[in-house]
């Protein structure tokens, strides 16, 4: 363990969505491979306290950490690239910072002083950064948004202050920008990068490293021009062109020599990063020998970010099975009893992801029915498990109005419902749930489940106790379980607390599995996840 924790501050400029999260995670992975312990902290300048209640259209996926914090999807990148598990210390929004300052103000902790952005908000930001970095050699701190945004100013000011307060060898500033290629001029344009650095310097920060995102590799002369205008050596201008896979980023950054610059600035060991595992991942990802088609039946089909961890987990399973996983996004809204067979018939496997709200539910039920009847591998995740239960209840048990109380609160057969509803005969929802805050009322984070010996899940996990992450309110209603079991439903896992249904399977089906948790949050590119790996493996084997 290093005596003084080192801090790498990563900001962005020109435009958002340049892949700061992936760059931060990749730098973390390079340093981890040199033998250091690394954490990554994401600071989001928006005012929501956490992204838990934000629409996927606004925010993409909500990533859930082991300790049950609802966080930005960048934390998913951190966990996929680095061996460290994020907690509530790894993601702060401006909302959370202001909230804690205001709470302190109400308690009189500021002793009658005027509470201001500087120093009170900036102090709170610094305190949270220092706290989150405790126990690590290196903390990478990523600031959301772009330099120059009004909201991000207190964050930039806080890291500027840290740069002064900590020892010079403890901090390094990395700035990520875009170098666009203008087709009609036929050249790469460095001006937006120059302006972004100028803006950053006007806030008091001189970056040590620039990572320039572009379609193509930056030629030496562009690097030199940028270096001159931005007052830095040209070897600190790193080119990061678009790559075939995000898992190539650690390799690309290493090739550009980023390790040497960071190592010199932070006075780290000069040993080279060990990237052999990433090389293997990239090789398998780029040249798979098999192909499989998975129908992904959800409601946000045009929104790649909404299911980021899930599509990555499928990809990891592909990498670990030497297979290209072709994901066909099928909008569940568009499936109906007339078209569902034809829309699904080219799929080698069907997956129904998690989700909230009633839109598109009937289409998902048709997809689950198709998979069960045609013996196509079916993977239902969270909502996807609930859909499977509704489908079996309706079509095998003859409970025509079986539903989840999330979609139809007064339905007769509440096969999926809130725990608090199980004992209510009149169909009412307990007051606590109806009036509760939308934030923080869910079953969240890693919980222990016990697997049934010899079930498919048990064979795949190769152990009896698992910890997987949850994010949902509704559960399988135990009153219907024995009726469902008579029709072939298998209960393969139950939770330690409350004995809730955690994994289901189906008799006489080659691969049918629903889980109430989100296994995608723990899938890693280097190993995959046992459930996803076998889902893809089976889909390849049974390919139609």
Contact residues: ligand GLN, CB under 6 A = 354-356, 382-383, 406, 471-474
Q: Are 297 and 384 in contact (CB under 8 A)?
A: no
Quick one: 461 or 521, whose CB is closer to ligand GLN?
521
> Residue 433 phi/psi, 5° resolution?
-80, -35
Quick one: 382 or 501, whose CB is closer to ligand GLN?
382
The verdict on whether residue 33 carries a ligand-binding annotation is no
The per-residue DSSP string of 308-358 comes to: HHHHHHHHHHHHTTTEEEEEEEEEGGG--TTTHHHHHTT-SEEEE----SS
Catalytic residue, candidates 382, 458, 470, 472 = 382
- Per DSSP, the three-state class of 366 is helix
The verdict on whether residue 222 carries a ligand-binding annotation is no
Smallest distance from the beta carbon of 329 to ligand GLN, in angstroms?
Answer: 17
Smallest distance from the beta carbon of 299 to ligand GLN, in angstroms?
Answer: 11
Smallest distance from the beta carbon of 474 to ligand GLN, in angstroms?
Answer: 3
The verdict on whether residue 67 carries a ligand-binding annotation is no
Smallest distance from the beta carbon of 472 to ligand GLN, in angstroms?
Answer: 3
The verdict on whether residue 65 carries a ligand-binding annotation is no
The verdict on whether residue 22 carries a ligand-binding annotation is yes
DSSP-derived secondary structure letter, 495? E
Residue nearest to ligand GLN (CB): 354
520 is catalytic: yes
Smallest distance from the beta carbon of 407 to ligand GLN, in angstroms?
Answer: 9
Quick one: 148 or 380, whose CB is closer to ligand GLN?
380
Residue 520 burial (10 A CB sphere; 0-12, 13-18, 19+): buried
> Residue 223 phi/psi, 5° resolution?
-60, -45
CA 241 distance to own-chain centroid: 23
Quick one: 154 or 354, whose CB is closer to ligand GLN?
354
**CA–CA separation, 528 vs 511, rounded Å?**
18
Rg of the chain on CA atoms, in Å: 25
Smallest distance from the beta carbon of 454 to ligand GLN, in angstroms?
Answer: 28
Smallest distance from the beta carbon of 452 to ligand GLN, in angstroms?
Answer: 22
The verdict on whether residue 445 carries a ligand-binding annotation is no
Residues in the chain: 544
Q: Are 442 and 466 in contact (CB under 8 A)?
A: no
Q: Measure the CA angle with vertex 121, ends 120 and 123; round to 5°.
A: 65
The verdict on whether residue 406 carries a ligand-binding annotation is yes
Smallest distance from the beta carbon of 73 to ligand GLN, in angstroms?
Answer: 15
User: Which tokens belong to 435?
Assistant: 């009036």
Smallest distance from the beta carbon of 518 to ligand GLN, in angstroms?
Answer: 7
List beta partners, residue 172: 8
Quick one: 382 or 415, whose CB is closer to ligand GLN?
382
**CA–CA separation, 420 vs 224, rounded Å?**
65
Positive or negative: CA dihedral 92, 93, 97, 100 = negative
479 is catalytic: no
User: Which tokens belong to 191?
Assistant: 């001006």
User: Which tokens belong to 114?
Assistant: 């005027």
What secondary structure, in 3-state letters, does 391-423 show?
HHHHHCCCCCCCEECCCCCCCCCEEEECHHHCC
The verdict on whether residue 495 carries a ligand-binding annotation is no
Quick one: 223 or 472, whose CB is closer to ligand GLN?
472
**CA–CA separation, 527 vs 188, rounded Å?**
38
Catalytic residue, candidates 157, 312, 520, 529 = 520
CA 512 distance to own-chain centroid: 25
**CA–CA separation, 440 vs 96, rounded Å?**
14
**CA–CA separation, 143 vs 44, rounded Å?**
6
Q: Are 387 and 364 in contact (CB under 8 A)?
A: yes
- Per DSSP, the three-state class of 178 is strand
What secondary structure, in 3-state letters, does 138-176 show?
EEEEEECCCCCCCCCHHHHHHHHHHHHHCCHHHEEEEEE
382 is catalytic: yes
The verdict on whether residue 16 carries a ligand-binding annotation is yes
Catalytic residue, candidates 59, 413, 470, 518 = 518
The verdict on whether residue 269 carries a ligand-binding annotation is no
Contacts of 151 (CB under 8 A, 6+ apart): 45, 46, 47, 94, 145
Other beta carbons within 10 Å of 143? 24
Quick one: 103 or 359, whose CB is closer to ligand GLN?
359
Quick one: 253 or 383, whose CB is closer to ligand GLN?
383
Quick one: 126 or 471, whose CB is closer to ligand GLN?
471
The verdict on whether residue 386 carries a ligand-binding annotation is yes
The verdict on whether residue 383 carries a ligand-binding annotation is yes
Q: Which residues are annotated as a binding site for UTP?
A: 16, 189-194, 225
Q: Which residues are annotated as a binding site?
A: 16-22, 74, 142, 149-151, 189-194, 225, 243, 355, 383-386, 406, 473
Active site residues: 382, 518, 520
Q: Which residues are annotated as a binding site for L-glutamine?
A: 355, 383-386, 406, 473
């Amino acid at each position: 363990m290093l005596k003084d924790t080192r801090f790498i501050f990563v900001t962005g400029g020109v435009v958002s969505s340049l892949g700061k999260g992936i760059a931060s995670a990749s730098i973390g992975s390079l340093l981890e491979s040199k033998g250091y312990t690394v954490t990554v902290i994401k600071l989001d300048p928006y005012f929501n306290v956490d992204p838990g209640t934000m629409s996927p259209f606004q925010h993409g996926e909500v990533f859930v950490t082991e300790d049950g914090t609802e966080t930005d999807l960048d934390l998913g990148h951190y966990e996929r690239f680095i061996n460290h598990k994020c907690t509530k210390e790894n993601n702060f929004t401006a909302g959370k910072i202001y909230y804690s300052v205001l709470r302190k103000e109400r308690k009189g902790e500021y002793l009658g002083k005027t509470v201001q952005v500087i120093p009170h908000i900036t102090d709170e930001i610094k305190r949270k950064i220092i706290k989150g970095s405790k126990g690590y050699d290196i903390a990478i701190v990523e600031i959301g948004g772009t330099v120059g945004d009004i909201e991000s100013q207190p964050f930039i000011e806080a890291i500027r202050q840290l740069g002064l307060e900590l020892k010079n060898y403890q901090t390094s500033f990395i700035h990520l920008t875009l170098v666009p290629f203008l087709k009609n001029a036929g050249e790469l344009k460095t001006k937006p990068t120059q302006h972004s650095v100028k803006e950053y310097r006007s806030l008091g920060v001189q970056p040590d490293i620039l990572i320039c995102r572009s379609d193509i590799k930056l030629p030496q002369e562009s690097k030199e021009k940028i270096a001159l205008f931005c007052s830095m050596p040209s070897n600190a201008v790193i080119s990061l062109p678009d790559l075939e896979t995000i898992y190539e980023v650690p390799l690309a950054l290493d090739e550009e020599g980023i390790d040497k610059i960071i190592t010199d600035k932070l006075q780290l060991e000069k040993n080279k990063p060990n990237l052999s595992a990433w090389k293997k991942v990239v090789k398998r990802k780029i040249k798979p020998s098999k192909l499989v088609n998975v129908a992904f039946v959800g409601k946000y089909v045009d929104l790649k970010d909404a299911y980021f961890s899930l599509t990555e987990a499928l990809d990891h399973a592909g990498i670990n099975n030497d297979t290209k996983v072709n994901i066909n996004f099928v909008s569940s809204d568009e499936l109906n009893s007339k078209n569902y067979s034809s829309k699904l018939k080219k799929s080698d496997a069907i997956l129904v992801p998690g989700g909230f709200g009633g839109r598109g539910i009937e289409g998902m039920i048709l997809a689950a029915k198709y998979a069960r009847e045609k013996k196509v591998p079916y993977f239902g995740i969270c909502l996807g498990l609930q859909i499977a239960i509704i489908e079996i209840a309706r079509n095998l048990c003859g409970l025509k109005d079986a539903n989840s109380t999330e979609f139809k609160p007064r339905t007769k057969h509440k096969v999926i419902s809130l725990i608090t509803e199980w004992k209510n005969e009149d169909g009412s929802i307990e007051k606590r749930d109806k009036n509760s805050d939308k934030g923080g009322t869910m079953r969240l984070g890693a919980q222990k489940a016990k697997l049934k010996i010899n079930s498919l899940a048990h064979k795949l996990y190769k152990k009896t106790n698992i910890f997987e992450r949850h994010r949902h309110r509704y559960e399988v209603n135990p009153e219907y379980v024995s009726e469902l079991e008579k029709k072939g439903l298998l209960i393969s896992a139950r939770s330690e607390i409350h004995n809730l249904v955690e994994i289901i399977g189906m008799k006489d089906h080659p691969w049918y599995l629903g889980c109430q948790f989100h296994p995608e949050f723990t899938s890693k590119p280097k190993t995959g996840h046992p459930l996803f790996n076998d889902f893809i493996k089976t889909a390849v084997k049974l390919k139609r």
